[in-house]
Structure 1
Amino acid sequence: MRNPFRRPLKQALTAIGVAMLAVSVNACADELIVSAAASLTNAFKAMGAAYEQQHPGTKVLLNFGASDVLMQQIVKGAPADVYASADQKAMDKAVSEKVVDAATRRDFAANALVLIVPKDSPFMPASLAELAQPGVKRVAYCDPASVPIGRYAKGALEAAGQWDAVNAKSVLAGDVRQSLDYVARGEVDAGFVFATDAAIMPDRVKVAMTVPTQTPVTYPLALVEGSRHAADAKGFIAYVLSPEGQAVLAKYGFKPAGTAH
């Protein structure tokens, strides 16, 4: 039976494509387009507003979604000036596709993978093995083939020897915020999100455990090749890396890139 929660990559690409077409139509000469991982939504909205205050002639247009989906849209010609992903593999793909300037690539933040449950749930797993219990029916996470947090979750589950058991209960989300929503609405027993995502809904979800990852959860960003606003794009990247930009990220729970482990 087809899982009604599953969101194929093709649908995600189409949705992002429509959004980016709208961005393309509305973009003006002084508008900087930043395509960023969904987990950066709150922090980058604040970052964009702060950058605009310091640069009155620039409007920052933000486009959020799954890192791989955004990268594929840039490959297909969607307008963007800065690309920020939630893992190194997505950025590696962007470099290999030659859609970003590798010389401008910088790590700017770190995060942690957490397992969350609905706020009122009596289920509080202390290990990933507990997700294999018969009483656990649905576990939300993102597709490892197209979303960084899905790759982090799969790696952790494989290391714990629980991938096959949990994968059989999977409810695939299009991006990390959708995974968060599934848990917040009580539609699943548990879900994998980033620590910063869990923190925005403390009244709806609770963190059961911080999950060790096989690779550090780090965020890189880079200038998009062919950007028509390269100077502004480099300025935005510099702002993100500046003490002021790092303070904005810290406010939303992100750690400095060098602290990832």
Structure 2
Amino acid sequence: MLRILWTCALVLLMAGQALAGPLTIAAGAGYKKLVTDLAAAYEKSSGTKPELIFGNMGQVTTQAKAGGVIDVIIGEKGFLEKSGLKFSGEAEIGHGILCMAWPKGKTFTDPKEIAKPDVKRVAMPDAKKAIYGRAATQFLAKAGLEKAVKDKLLVVATVPQVTTYVVSGEVDAGFVNRTDIMNVGDKIGGYLEVDPSLYAPIVIVAESLAGSPNPDGAKSFSAFLATDAAKAIAKKHGM
């Protein structure tokens, strides 16, 4: 009798897990390698392999609002708080750093040098869709560079697109985050961190969606982010 009860309980547990579906995590494209590494470490520790979705944060939040798919969103705290989405839990991953990068063959000693006449093209993410685009816009305004660089700007959707332009040498400089630019190694000429007093703090968090299809999975992943293993991964990626 006990064996029958145990078998029934096990079947019900497995059925519940199946109904919950996979753990789905969505994040800004600029954090693809960070999130991929976190997901791999989580899978190793829990045995659960998350499904990952990447895009600009406008795309990610729009998909989340459609409901029924995403369990956790990773992005900038302030942006997510203003997204209109409802969350059931939050785990901080780290602080994002705005950087200005340039291709091989170029040299800069200060991000403000993009105002020089010999700098013809500067890439940046769209301020309406990407937090680092907003941060770059804030920097340009506070540094008094808006007018000087207005006609030089090449606005694209995501940080990785900016990085691609920098690596290819199609722009003289580009605004990116430290996490993305650290992953390209010697493919660029170099980068400088932008003075953090010239843009609003960027706090990167993992938000569990209220009404998540897999709330237990979301809670488990959030708990994992507090571990030493997760913190080491974040540090490795410049957080």
TM over 0.5: yes
For residues 221 and 179 of structure 1, the distance between their equivalents in structure 2, rounded to whole angstroms, comes to 24
What's the counterpart of residue 122 of structure 2? 139
CA drift of 1:28 comes to: 7.8
What's the counterpart of residue 54 of structure 1? 45
Structure 1 residues 93 and 168, CA, compared in 2 at 3 Å: closer, same or farther? same
Contact 1:66 1:174 in 2 (8 A): yes
Structure 1 residues 202 and 98, CA, compared in 2 at 3 Å: closer, same or farther? closer
Query: Structure 2 counterpart of 1:159, which letter?
Result: K
Give identity over the alignment, percent. 30
Alignment of 1:248-259 (within 5 A): 248-254=233-239
> Which of the residues 20, 28, 33 maps onto 2:24?
33
Q: TM-score under structure 2 normalisation?
A: 0.85
Contact 1:128 1:160 in 2 (8 A): no
What's the counterpart of residue 205 of structure 2? 220
Q: TM-score under structure 1 normalisation?
A: 0.78
For residues 150 and 56 of structure 2, the distance between their equivalents in structure 1, rounded to whole angstroms, comes to 20
Query: Structure 1 counterpart of 2:214, which letter?
Result: H
For residues 138 and 116 of structure 2, the distance between their equivalents in structure 1, rounded to whole angstroms, comes to 20
What's the counterpart of residue 3 of structure 1? none
For residues 134 and 28 of structure 1, the distance between their equivalents in structure 2, rounded to whole angstroms, comes to 60
Contact 1:142 1:149 in 2 (8 A): yes
> Which of the residues 158, 183, 198 maps onto 1:175?
158
Contact 2:121 2:173 in 1 (8 A): yes
1:123-161 CA distances to partner (integer Å, 9 max, x unpaired)? 322234321222211101101111100011111111100
> Which of the residues 58, 76, 81 maps onto 1:68?
58
> Which of the residues 69, 81, 84 maps onto 1:92?
81
Consecutive aligned runs of 4 or more in structure 1 exceeding 4 Å deviation: none
1:210-241 CA distances to partner (integer Å, 9 max, x unpaired)? 10132222202211121121011111011112
Number of residues of Structure 1 aligned to a counterpart in Structure 2 = 220
* SS, match of residue 141 in structure 1: strand
Cα root mean square deviation, aligned: 1.9
* SS, match of residue 151 in structure 1: helix
What's the counterpart of residue 90 of structure 2? 105
* SS, match of residue 141 in structure 2: helix
What's the counterpart of residue 71 of structure 2? 81
Structure 1 residues 100 and 36, CA, compared in 2 at 3 Å: closer, same or farther? same
Structure 1 runs not aligned, ≥5 long: 1-26, 255-261
For residues 19 and 235 of structure 2, the distance between their equivalents in structure 1, rounded to whole angstroms, comes to 31
Contact 1:36 1:65 in 2 (8 A): yes
